[in-house]
Amino acid sequence: MNSLAVPKHRAARVKGLLPLAAAALLAAAAAAPAHADTGKLLLTGGVSTIDGAAGGGISPWAVIGTQATEGERGVSAYLSRAETQDYGLTATGVAVGFNDRFELSFGHQNFDTGITGTLLGLPGLDLKQNILGAKVRVAGDAILDSHTFMPQIAVGVQHKQLESSGLDATLDALGAKRTGTDVYVSATKLFLAQGLLVNATLRATQANQGGLLGHGARLGGADNGYEFMPEISVAYLVSKNIAVGFEYRDMPNKLQRAGAAAGLGDGLRADAWKDIFIAWAPSKNVSLTAAYVDLGRVVPATTNNKKQTGVYVSAQFAF
């Protein structure tokens, strides 16, 4: 298994880069006050995903986060919490938007493994992941093109690093890496007159459960390459400051074959993530989101094969 492990000098170098990148992003945020006097229409810039990019709760959209419009700079920050029967996830982060064209983001996730950690002999185990993201709008304008069929299109990248934990030996045995990079293309169409927003994202990824269980798997000859996963979001503006909708994010199932080779059958199977949400913007700088989430089966070998459903709440502050 040593041949599958990331060399120590390389892992240390990668581990040191993300905190530096996060510090640089925070410095850029401090140096980039929001110059927008009016900002965007409420909720049309999305909220913050658990990965840090602007969009819905679980899927990025083609919109550029913050309140900044063309010729302006802005910054946003968020705090999110999801609770299911057996797990909990806290996500925090910051994003900087430039000229309504570029977005840089940093997200940090803390995943409480609950019963899975206990059954692995690691009670209280938390998995911590850092995500550095970048997004660029390449075509269209969601607002200006709202009367046409042209969507806003953006290309994004997310580099994910799972911090070292008591789960390292298990991930090494499965042949899963602790670092990985997702690349995605999003198309967002706003039908302003109808109050309807539709987004489709196609993500190339190796991530297991969004990267919280590493990336890829080699045990048992499991497929370790990139897969294209679809994500869909639909939001309806009930009023100018309230939106309701749903999201769907498909997940690779790379650990299933590795788990079977380890004698776990379908015990590491993964399912798509889904949610039904309501978002409220009491002001142009604040948005609050609540959702019912369905994460499917997450390590069903330790959770009696039950689906992980629960609640999600998030607060975003954007300038």
Q: What is the C-alpha separation between 73 and 28, in angstroms, rounded?
A: 10
| CATH code of residue 175 | 2.40.160.40
The 10 Å Cβ neighbour count of residue 268 is 28
Q: What is the mean pLDDT of residues 86-112?
A: 97
What's the domain count of the chain? 1
Rg of the Cα atoms in the chain: 19
| Interval 173-198: pLDDT, tens | 999 999 999 999 999 999 999 999 99
The pairing of strands 88-98 and 73-84 is antiparallel
Per-residue pLDDT band at 19 (split at 50, 70, 90): low
Q: What is the pTM of this model?
A: 0.88
Query: Which pLDDT score, from 0 to 100, does residue 18 have?
Result: 59
Q: Which residues pair with 233 in a beta bridge?
A: 199, 247
Residue type, 218: R
Query: Which pLDDT score, from 0 to 100, does residue 137 have?
Result: 98
Q: What is the C-alpha separation between 53 and 64, in angstroms, rounded?
A: 8
- Kindly report the average pLDDT of the chain as a whole number: 89
Measure the CA angle with vertex 42, ends 40 and 47; round to 5°: 95
- What's the domain range around 69? 2-318
| Interval 52-77: pLDDT, tens | 999 999 999 999 999 988 899 999 99
Query: Which pLDDT score, from 0 to 100, does residue 89 have?
Result: 98
| Interval 215-256: pLDDT, tens | 999 998 877 889 999 999 999 999 999 999 999 999 999 999
Query: Which pLDDT score, from 0 to 100, does residue 43 have?
Result: 86
Please list the alpha-helical segments (H only) found in 66-189: 114-119, 168-174
Query: Which pLDDT score, from 0 to 100, does residue 27 have?
Result: 53
Return the SS3 of 183: strand
Q: Which of 16-20, 49-53, 249-253, 272-276 comes out lowest in average pLDDT?
A: 16-20
Read off φ and ψ for residue 78, nearest 5 degrees.
Answer: -145, 160
The pairing of strands 73-84 and 126-139 is unpaired
Query: Which pLDDT score, from 0 to 100, does residue 223 have?
Result: 74
